[in-house]
């Protein structure tokens, strides 16, 4: 049906999606949005249906991060929309560009007790860049076009488009529904109601027969200013111990990440990578540092924060010493100045800033070699310590040894989705993402439950690549039901669950400070058996010598097209003692 004229409002929305290159629509079905799903499917868009609306939005979020184009989710009215709030806020704080299409009660019945009719704007608006409400059929496609542009413009983020159900079905059906609602009475009230509903329908459908085919609007990333770039380049050129921290915002333009990676290497400055920027320089780049970031920041005399705000992750700016020259490259002027005013604020795309700084600076001066060497030796010493700790044997699996094994066994093109607390925190020290956009974590909001949705987005945006989910046993509870979605749609992800029978990241400090583990204790649950009930493969690992055979078997199963979960019983460790963030 590609290219066919729209028969109803759902077709109009679908045409706008196709005009923006959308290939996948993530959803949980509902009568309020059924025409959108049918219209999208008819036009070749793959409809990926899940078991929780939050999962649909998380999947759209991941699709956006990996493609650089807004991911799209469609959810039904009322509880379908309230179920998305956490995922929307996560995308907002992670600055992910996505478009969420939300159903709503019929326009003529809103506020009168219709099914799932609530005031949706006050609930959603604080968590998105814009809440776009549509009231006429002819405005459906333009609203979607506007949403796509808004999602990418400036600081990226989610945009919500509310589409009432009576705008989505064909005109004849809607007029018949309204005629049935008005009845055939002859009294004054009956006639007045018929007049009102006929007039309301005429307004809704006015101009809908001469709609212009939708066309995507171009959006240009905000360029950094020349004056600020010149000052930043001059500061780096005279530095003795420069350091860069590159974060998610630097890779928001997915089409340019390789250019950003080349520029980051050409700068010659030691680099720490965070968030979506993990893996930007590959697995073993000599300038990438992984350990003792706080010490390095306190020793550096010039620090470039590229797409990284001074929030809790940098101790609100206190990790950078006051005498250092602080350079902040960020699309958001607010984030560039959060908690600490930089010496140079380069307001514009952080990735472009790195590229242009590399072009302005000459080759790395020889005097930086000792500084890079110092940090490199510190990294190697920490890696040796981890190796020693990984060699320790206990009753169950050593988590450090497990991640050493996973790092060795995963494919060279693997995408890793991180969803958990203590287990994922350990992974972030040991796992080495294979390349740019090879790591997905929730971001600053620290949301648990992103795993299944992020994996769906990754698998659909990166078909043929190996997708791993690293679950804590607490976090996996949100995602287990989505193994049904994986199985039904042939999405062969590999999940590993670090099962230490507790919410360990919380328990560490709670028990120490309060002497009570209340609310933090879980069981050695048979998660592998749960997913088997959904038709996936499940493996149990209880000893260190079982790890590598199980990981290899998991990869074999995934290559055969089966999603798989590896339930790994862990020993407790003190590796991340004192890691609670506030």
Q: Give the model confidence (pLDDT) of 536-547 as tens digits.
A: 999 999 999 999
Task: Look at 186 and 228; give whichever has higher pLDDT.
Answer: 228
Residues in the chain: 582
Residue 45 falls inside a structural domain: yes
Residue 377 included in any domain: no
Same domain, 31 and 103: yes
Question: Contact, 87 vs 98, CB < 8 A?
Answer: no
What pLDDT score does 173 carry? 87
d(CA 497, CA 408): 18
The pLDDT score that the predictor gives to residue 204 is 84
Q: What percent of the chain has pLDDT over 70?
A: 97
Upper half-sphere CA count for residue 135 (Cβ side, 13 Å): 6
Q: Residue with structure tokens 């995308």?
A: 91
Distances (CA, A) of 463 to 102, 389, 411: 27, 36, 14
Claim to verify: residue 17 and residue 98 sit in the same structural domain: yes
Smallest CA-to-CA distance from 54 within 26, 35, 93, 22 is with 26
pLDDT digits (tens, 9 = 90+) for 289-328: 999 999 999 999 999 999 999 999 999 999 999 999 999 9
Q: Is residue 108 part of a domain?
A: yes
Q: Domain count for the chain, please give it.
A: 3
Are residues 428 and 338 both part of a single domain?
Answer: no
CA distance linking residue 207 with residue 570, whole number of Å: 63
User: How far is the C-alpha of 59 from the C-alpha of 71, rounded, in Å?
Assistant: 8
Which of 95, 70, 78, 77 has the alpha carbon at shortest distance from 149?
Answer: 70
Question: Do 201 and 129 share a structural domain?
Answer: yes
Residues near 555 by Cβ (< 8 Å), separated by ≥ 6? Answer: 409, 411, 466, 494
Task: For residue 268, give the CATH number of its domain.
Answer: 3.40.50.1220
**Tens digit of pLDDT for each residue in 372-403?**
999 999 999 999 999 999 999 999 999 999 99
Averaged pLDDT score across all residues of the chain: 93
Of 63-67, 100-104, 194-198, the range with the lowest mean pLDDT is: 194-198
| Residue where a domain stops, chosen among 210, 238, 253 | 210
DSSP assigned state of 222: P
pLDDT tens for each residue of 216-266: 899 999 999 999 999 999 999 999 999 999 999 999 999 999 999 999 999
Residues 512, 453, single domain; the answer is: yes
Residue 4, pLDDT score = 52
What is residue 560's three-state secondary structure? coil
Average pLDDT value for residue range 493-520:
92
More confident residue, 200 or 70: 70
Instruction: Grade residue 36 by pLDDT with cuts at 50, 70 and 90.
Output: very high
Strands 71-75 and 564-569: unpaired
Statement: residue 213 has pLDDT above 80: yes
3-state helix, strand, coil in the chain (%, to 5): 45, 15, 35
Q: Distance (Å, rounded) from C-alpha 104 to C-alpha 562?
A: 37
What is the side-by-side order of every strand in the sheet holding 24-27? Answer: 46-49, 24-27, 71-75, 98-104, 158-164, 130-133
Domain boundary (210, 243, 267) is at 210
Six token digits for residue 214: 């939708």
Give dist(CA 440, CA 116) in Å, integer.
34
pLDDT confidence tier of residue 453, bands split at 50, 70 and 90: very high
Q: Report yes or no on 527 lying in a domain.
A: yes
Asked if the structure places residue 217 within a domain, the reply is: no
Range of the domain at 314: 226-370
Same domain for 440 and 360:
no
User: Are 249 and 192 found together in one domain?
Assistant: no
- Tell me, yes or no, whether 266 and 194 share the same domain: no
Q: Is the pLDDT of residue 1 over 50?
A: no
End position of a domain, from candidates 210, 235, 254: 210
Tokens read off for 311: 């929030």
Instruction: Return the closest-CA partner of residue 269 out of 299, 293, 304, 235.
Output: 304
CATH of the domain at 142: 3.40.50.970
Residue 458 in any domain: the answer is yes
Give the global pTM.
0.94
Mean pLDDT, to the nearest integer, of 366-377?
A: 95
- Residue linked to tokens 């920490």: 382
| Residue 557 located in a structural domain | yes
242 and 267 co-located in one domain: yes
Quick one: which of 118, 57, 55 has its CA closest to 92? 57
Backbone angles phi, psi at 468, to 5 degrees: -110, 140
For the chain, counts of helices (H) and of strands (E): 22, 17
């Amino acid at each position: 049906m590609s290219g066919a004229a729209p028969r109803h409002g759902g077709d109009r929305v679908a045409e706008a999606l196709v005009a923006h290159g959308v290939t996948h629509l993530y959803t949980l079905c509902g009568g309020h949005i059924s025409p959108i799903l049918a219209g999208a499917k008819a036009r070749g868009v793959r409809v990926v249906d899940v078991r929780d609306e939050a999962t649909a939005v998380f999947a759209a979020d991941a699709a956006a991060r990996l493609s650089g184009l807004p991911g799209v989710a469609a959810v039904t009215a009322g509880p379908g929309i309230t179920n998305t709030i956490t995922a929307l806020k996560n995308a907002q704080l992670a600055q992910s560009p996505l478009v969420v299409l939300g159903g709503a009660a019929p326009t003529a019945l809103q506020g009168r007790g219709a099914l799932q009719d609530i005031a949706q704007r006050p609930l959603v608006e604080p968590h998105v860049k814009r809440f776009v409400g549509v009231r006429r059929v002819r405005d459906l496609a333009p609203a979607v076009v506007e949403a796509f542009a808004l999602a990418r413009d400036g600081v990226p983020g989610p945009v919500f488009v509310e589409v009432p159900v009576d705008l989505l079905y064909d005109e004849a059906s809607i007029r018949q529904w309204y005629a049935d609602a008005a009845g055939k009475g002859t009294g004054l009230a009956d006639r007045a109601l018929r007049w009102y509903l006929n007039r309301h329908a005429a307004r809704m459908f006015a101009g809908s027969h001469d709609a212009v085919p939708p066309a995507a609007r171009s959006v240009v990333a905000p360029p950094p200013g020349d004056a600020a770039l010149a000052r930043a380049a001059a500061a780096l050129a005279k530095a003795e111990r420069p350091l860069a921290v590159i974060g998610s915002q630097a890779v928001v333009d997915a089409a340019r990440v390789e250019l950003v990676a080349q520029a980051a290497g050409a700068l010659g400055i030691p680099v720490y990578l965070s968030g979506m920027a993990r893996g930007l320089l590959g697995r073993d780049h000599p300038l990438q540092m992984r350990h003792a970031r706080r010490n390095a920041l306190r020793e550096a005399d010039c620090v470039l924060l590229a797409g990284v705000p001074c929030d809790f992750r940098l101790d609100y700016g206190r990790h950078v010493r006051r005498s250092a020259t602080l350079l902040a490259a960020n699309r958001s002027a607010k984030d560039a100045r959060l908690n600490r005013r930089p010496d140079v604020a380069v307001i514009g795309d952080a990735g472009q800033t790195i590229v242009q700084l590399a072009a302005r600076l000459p080759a790395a001066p020889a005097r930086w070699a000792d500084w890079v060497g110092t940090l490199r030796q510190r990294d190697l010493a920490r890696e040796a310590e981890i190796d020693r700790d990984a060699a320790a044997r206990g009753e169950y699996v050593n988590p450090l040894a497990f991640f050493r094994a996973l790092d060795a066994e995963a494919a060279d093109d693997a995408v890793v989705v991180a969803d958990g607390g203590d287990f994922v925190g350990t992974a972030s020290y040991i796992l080495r993402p294979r390349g740019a956009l090879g790591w997905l974590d929730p971001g600053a909001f620290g949301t648990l439950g992103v795993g299944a949705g992020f994996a769906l987005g990754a698998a659909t945006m990166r078909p043929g690549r190996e997708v791993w989910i690293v679950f804590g046993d607490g976090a996996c509870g949100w995602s287990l039901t989505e193994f049904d979605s994986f199985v039904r749609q042939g999405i062969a992800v590999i999940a590993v669950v670090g099962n230490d029978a507790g919410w360990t990241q919380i328990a560490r400090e709670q028990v120490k400070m309060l002497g009570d583990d209340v609310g933090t204790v879980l069981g050695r649950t048979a998660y592998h058996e749960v997913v088997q009930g959904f038709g996936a493969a499940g493996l149990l690992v209880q000893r260190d010598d079982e790890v590598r055979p199980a990981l290899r078997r998991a990869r074999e199963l995934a290559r055969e097209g089966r999603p798989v979960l590896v339930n790994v019983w862990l020993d407790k460790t003190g590796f991340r003692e004192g890691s609670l963030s506030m």
